[in-house]
Amino acid sequence: MKEIIEIIIYSLFAGITIFSGGLWARTFEKYTKKTIESYILHWTVAFGGGILVAAVAFVLTPKAIEVFSLPQLTIIFTAGALIFFFLDKSIEKRGGLLAQTMAMLMDFIPEAIALGATFVHDHKLGVLLAFFIGFQNLPESFNAYFDLRKSNYPPKNILLIFFYLSFLGIVSALAGRYFLNDRGNLTKGIMLFSSGGILYLIFQDIAPLSKMRKHWEPALGAILGFLIGMIGTKLFG
Position 183 scores a pLDDT of 80
| Distance separating alpha carbons of residues 108 and 99, to the nearest angstrom | 14
* Low-confidence spans in the chain with pLDDT less than 50: none
pTM of structure: 0.78
Distance CA 221, CA 66 (A): 31
For residue range 98-134, what is the model confidence (pLDDT) as tens digits? 667 777 787 788 878 888 888 877 777 788 778 878 8
For residue 56, with 0-12 CB atoms within 10 Å meaning exposed, 13-18 middle and 19 or more buried, which class applies?
Answer: buried
Question: Residue 170 carries which side chain, given as an amino acid letter?
Answer: I
182 Cβ neighbours under 8 A, 6+ residues apart: none
